[in-house]
Amino acid sequence: MSQETVLTRPKEDPWEMALEQFHRAADYLPLKRGIREFLAYPKRELTVNFPVKMDDGSVRIFTGYRVHHSTVLGPTKGGIRYHPDVTLNEVRALAMWMTWKCAVAGLPYGGAKGGVVCDPKKMSMNELENLTRRYATEISILMGPESDIPAPDVGTNPQVMAWIMDTYSMHRGYSVPAVVTGKPISIGGSQGRFEATGRGCMIVAREGAKYLGIPLQEARVVVQGFGNVGSVAAYLMHDAGAKVIAVSDSRGGIYNPKGIDPRQVLDHKRKTGSVVDFPGADVVTNEELLELPCDILIPSALEGAITGANAPKIKAKLIVEGANGPTTPEADEILKERGVTVIPDILANSGGVIVSYFEWVQDLQSFFWTEEEINQRLERLMVQSFYHVLETAEKYKVDLRTGAMIRAISRVSDALMTRGIYP
Ligand code: GLU
């Protein structure tokens, strides 16, 4: 292995993390060996290498993936990530987490994820459209409203979903809005989808704070990541009466112990491209931000933010995982010992896929609901999932992640046993 490989290799492999979380929870269940092994593998994995015409006339080859972890509960569901660090193992982990996330929420879906190794921040709109339409074509052998329904994730947005919907529809010869969720409202997107993941985080943070006896009014909140999830979670926590004291994006963080108005930060980010240099706040690094004195920490960036190295220094009482996989299994152990409650990703950020499900149902029926109806249904489902997970965790005397995983694995394995093994 070259020196460079050693230095750039991520310390925590997300797939190893996902497997460790799975086995920790599976140990509590009377699963047959074959069933346990079956659930520990992705069902199918597609790697595509494809050319894209760039603005300067050159042709570049990009690599993308689409992984289906499980189809036991229904068609597969999960986002598509555009990021320079995407790897097959990351997409595998994200696909497995989608299986558990859908199962915890009681949605009729299995888990999937896709990703393209690229830096969308360094590409023009035209290049992104070319890349998206070609990637959509490459994975169209797996994609479909009855088989596999993508959605946004890190680095993708409603416009990217619109290109996927259009590309798929052009191949079919008619419009198929239900093939992808997180679309713009004008082409069959759902009211409330854009805010759904952040709204779900706020709902479980509120319930978690209630459970721990932390008054939400004036509770100090720190949010890592100011994208689709973090920015919305931040302003909805602010609206709920909490005090957001620090936020960050990939370029760095800002901190003001007296409180920050997240909507003003969002305006600043829209104008300047980043939260940094927001007037009236101190500059902090992403590492420092996680260790700030606060009550609620919402990591909403990438995997592996909270590790064995910084977990002992975290001061929050409640961690609400807006991102997928932000806490390593080693950190989980440390936090548990230190009495820090973690609301796990597969529960905390499930608002996105829950409203994706509503979007898909609306598209299939061509009958649309109001934002109020969507938000009410989301609220009901998130609160219900939170208390179900809490109940399971208390019953088995485990942390909330293991409780959520026990529920999810039970649901999938029950369905698997009922369907039987073919042939
Ligand atoms: N990418 C989001 C997630 O990780 C949303 C998935 C979806 O809506 O299908 O949950």
Q: Which residues are catalytically annotated?
A: 113
CA dist 24 → 71, 231, 394, 399, 405 (Å)? 22, 32, 16, 11, 9
Q: Residue 259 pLDDT more than 70?
A: yes
pLDDT band at residue 4 under the 50/70/90 scheme: very low
pLDDT band at residue 1 under the 50/70/90 scheme: very low
Q: Where are the alpha helices (DSSP H) in 1-79?
A: 3-8, 14-26, 33-39
Closest atom, ligand 1, to C-alpha of 353:
8
Q: Residue 129 pLDDT more than 80?
A: yes
Closest residue to atom 9 of ligand 1, CA basis: 78
Q: How far is the CA of 90 from the centre of ligand 1 (A)?
A: 14
Q: Residue 45 pLDDT more than 60?
A: yes
Q: Where are the alpha helices (DSSP H) in 240-300?
A: 262-272, 286-290
Average pLDDT over residues 405-415: 98
Report phi then psi at 263, rounded to 5.
-70, -35
Q: Residue 6 pLDDT more than 60?
A: no
Average pLDDT over residues 209-234: 97
The model's pLDDT over 353-370, given as tens digits with 9 standing for 90+, comes to 999 999 999 999 999 999
Identical fold for domains 42-177 and 196-348, yes or no, is yes
The model's pLDDT over 277-299, given as tens digits with 9 standing for 90+, comes to 999 999 999 999 999 999 999 99
CA dist 100 → 254, 256, 350, 383, 417 (Å)? 34, 37, 10, 17, 17
Q: Residue 81 pLDDT more than 70?
A: yes
* Residue 11 confidence (pLDDT): 59
Q: How far is the CA of 188 from the centre of ligand 1 (A)?
A: 17
Per the DSSP assignment, residues forming a β-bridge with 114 are: 66, 80
CATH architecture of 196-348: 3-Layer(aba) Sandwich (3.40)
Average pLDDT over residues 234-246: 98
Q: Which CATH class is domain 42-177?
A: alpha beta
Closest atom, ligand 1, to C-alpha of 78:
9
The model's pLDDT over 169-205, given as tens digits with 9 standing for 90+, comes to 999 999 999 999 999 999 999 999 999 999 999 999 9
Closest residue to atom 8 of ligand 1, CA basis: 353
Q: Residue 262 pLDDT more than 50?
A: yes
* Residue 12 confidence (pLDDT): 83
Q: Residue 379 pLDDT more than 90?
A: yes
> Structure pTM?
0.96
Closest residue to atom 7 of ligand 1, CA basis: 353
Mutation pick for ligand 1 pocket among 80, 86, 153 (CB with most ligand atoms within 8 Å): 153
Say how far apart CA 286 and CA 302 lie, in whole Å.
Answer: 12
Closest atom, ligand 1, to C-alpha of 81:
1
Q: How far is the CA of 112 from the centre of ligand 1 (A)?
A: 9
Extents of the domains making up the chain: 42-177, 196-348
Average pLDDT over residues 114-122: 98
Q: How far is the CA of 330 from the centre of ligand 1 (A)?
A: 25
Q: Residue 19 pLDDT more than 60?
A: yes
Q: Residue 9 pLDDT more than 70?
A: no
Mutation pick for ligand 1 pocket among 197, 302, 354 (CB with most ligand atoms within 8 Å): 197
Say how far apart CA 336 and CA 117 lie, in whole Å.
Answer: 35
Average pLDDT over residues 97-122: 98
Q: Residue 3 pLDDT more than 50?
A: no
Q: How far is the CA of 362 from the centre of ligand 1 (A)?
A: 17
Q: How far is the CA of 357 from the centre of ligand 1 (A)?
A: 10
Average pLDDT over residues 340-352: 98
Q: How far is the CA of 342 from the centre of ligand 1 (A)?
A: 20
- Return the SS3 of 220: strand
Residues with CB under 6 A from ligand 1: 77-79, 101, 151, 153, 181, 324, 349, 352-353, 356
Closest atom, ligand 1, to C-alpha of 77:
9
* Residue 181 confidence (pLDDT): 98
Mutation pick for ligand 1 pocket among 356, 359, 363, 381 (CB with most ligand atoms within 8 Å): 356
Average pLDDT score over the chain = 96
44-53, strands of its sheet edge to edge: 44-53, 59-68, 110-117, 76-83, 148-152
Closest atom, ligand 1, to C-alpha of 356:
8
* Residue 251 confidence (pLDDT): 96
